[in-house]
Each structure stands twice: as structure tokens, then as C-alpha cells.
Amino acid sequence: MKESMQNQQNRQRWMLVSSLVIMAILFIILALADAFGLLRSTDLKITNFIELFKSPLLTKVADFLSWSGETPQGYLILVLSVIVLICARYRWEAVILGVSAFGAIVLDEIIKIIVRSPGPFAPTNPALMNFNDYTFPSGHVIFYMTFFGFVSYLLLSHMKSSWKRTIPLIFMGVLIVFVGIARVYLLAHWTSDVIGGYILGGMILIISVQVYKYGIKRNFKLCRRK
């Protein structure tokens, strides 16, 4: 029995590591392709198609979907969430949420500097570009994946199935899924930026959940409610 459980754990570990490796390879390939402009014609075609559906109503919806990831409200939501978790004595959850979300923001900025992929509104002359013109990967998507993704995991882990859990899960799921389309619609990002954001955000979320579970299993001091 113990051997069977050990084999199952080893398989799960192998699948987890394999998934992260595959995602990392895909992200690197996408980043290189973006850096050399190999995806720009495809990005442009997708953007032009999405722009065919432009309307005042859809623009308001896209702005709403993007609102939580803008500055300063994104930082405010993160800080308030961490404070609420600490006050509720969920200190380990607060640490993981804060470190993963803030770390994702910093990592996003670093990658933007390295890849230097100009967004839809970037000047055609490279000499006129500044940091704000680089858009790979999408910071909104990364933040939504790491923040709302981990909060969703906490709700699934700590709350029993009820409308009180279902409604916020659906709301956050809608934000995560549709923010990528919204960013392309608003001409803030190319589709490749959004895909890169989902991949990197997914990797960070997976690692965050595993670190969180490891702390619970090892009964870290921060995991104790008292």
C-alpha cells in the first residue's frame, strides 16, 4: 500500500515537473519569436479581426475587465488582500499570495526589459521607444493568473461548496479568461503578449500552490492559526 502511494506521488511529481519544463520551453520560444518580430504579422491579423467588433459597450466591458490590473488599484487590492488574510490568521496564505503576486510583477518588468518587444502603440522608430512601449508579456494576465488564481485555489481549499464560494469563483474565472482578449481589444497588447502572460502566470501559480502545500505538509510556523 505504501509503495503504491509512493509510486503515485512520484508520478504526480514527474508530471508536475514535466509540465513546468514544457511551459518554460514554450515561453522561451515565444519570447525569442517576439523579440525578433517573427509573430508580428500574425498578431496584427488577430488584432485587426478583434477590432472589427469595436463598440462603446464592448470597450466599457474591456475597461472593466482590465480595471483590477491597473495602477494603483492592482497594488491596493493585493495589499488589502494580504492584510485581510493576516488579520484572519491565514499568515502562510498571505505570504504566498503576496510573494507570488509581487514577484510576478517584478519578473514581468524584468522580462519586458530583456525581450524589448514593442506593443501596438509603440513608435516605429526604435530610438523614440521607452520602457512603457514594451509589452511582452502581458502584466495584467500574469497578475490575474497569480493573484486571482491563487485566491481561487484558497477558496476551493478552505470553503465548502455553496453559492458564497461559487459566485466569487465564477467572477474571478471570468476575469482570468477574458482579460487577455480585453487587453488585445484595447490595443494594450498583442496576442503573443497575452499568451506569454498566461504561460508565465500559469507557471508561477503552479509553483505557488506547490510551495503552499509543502508548507502545510511540513506544518510551518506560519501555517498555524494561533
pLDDT in tens, 195-205: 999 999 999 99
CB 143 within 8 A of CB 73: no
pLDDT in tens, 152-168: 999 999 888 898 999 99
Q: Quick one: 99 exposed, middle or buried, by C-beta within 10 A (0-12, 13-18, 19+)?
A: middle
How confident is the model at residue 7, as a pLDDT? 72
- 93-98: list long-range contacts, CB under 8 Å, 24+ apart: 93/154, 93/212, 95/222, 96/150, 96/208, 96/211, 96/212, 96/215, 97/147, 97/150, 97/151, 97/154, 97/208
How confident is the model at residue 34, as a pLDDT? 94
Grid coordinates representing 10?
A: 512520484
pLDDT in tens, 114-155: 999 999 987 665 655 566 789 999 999 999 999 999 999 999
DSSP letter (8 states) at residue 116: -
Report which of residues 224 and 48 the model is more confident about. Answer: 48
pLDDT in tens, 12-23: 889 999 999 999
**What's the structural domain count of the chain?**
1
pLDDT in tens, 71-85: 999 999 999 999 999
Grid coordinates representing 161?
A: 461548496
Q: Which residue range(s) make up the domain with 123?
A: 2-223
> Where is average pLDDT lowest: 81-95, 182-196, 210-224?
210-224
Grid coordinates representing 209?
A: 500552490
Residue 58 has pLDDT above 80, yes or no: yes
How confident is the model at residue 36, as a pLDDT? 93
- The answer to whether the pTM exceeds 0.75 is yes
Could you give the 3-state DSSP secondary structure of residue 39?
A: coil
For the residues of 43-54, what is the DSSP string, one character each? Answer: HHHHHHHHHTT-
